[in-house]
Amino acid sequence: MKDKLKIFGILTLLMVSIYFIATYLRVGEINNIQQINKNFKITTGVVIKKSVQKGNHIWIRYNVNGNIYVESDGFLESQKVNVGDIIKVKYSIDKPELMITEFNEYF
């Protein structure tokens, strides 16, 4: 019986930890999107890498005031994008490393 309680306690602790980590990450993502939408510009970028393992992500290289940034964003499988494509990027004027692409639902 004690072993079952230990296993139950460990599983409960693990699930609660995963919940709080996921919540923390989501809040950070929402804050970044709000930061971008508060004061932004739109430019173009080039897709330099595409990954469809463990989620769909693209890495985009874009230029802001002579500085080159490489950042990533997600996309849906139904959205056709390939390495070398030129896409729209919305970035924060205050923090140009914060960006979302035209494939993001908050664009």
What is the C-alpha separation between 46 and 61, in angstroms, rounded? 5
**19 is a domain residue:** yes
So what's the pLDDT on residue 20? 85
Tell me whether residue 32 is in a domain: yes
Q: Let me know if 99 is exposed, middle or buried by CB neighbors in 10 A (0-12, 13-18, 19+).
A: buried
The 10s digit of each residue's pLDDT in 73-90 is 999 988 999 999 999 999
Q: Determine if the pTM surpasses 0.85.
A: no
Q: If the chain, 107 residues long, is cut into consecutive pieces of 10 residues, what is the mean pLDDT of each piece?
A: 84 89 85 93 97 92 97 92 97 96 93
Domain membership flag for residue 31: yes
What's the CA angle centered on 35, arms 61 and 100, to 5 degrees? 30
pLDDT of residue 59: 97
Question: Is 106 domain-assigned?
Answer: no
CATH code of residue 39 = 2.40.50
Enclosing domain of residue 56: 2-101
In a domain, 59, yes or no: yes
Number of separate domains in the chain? 1
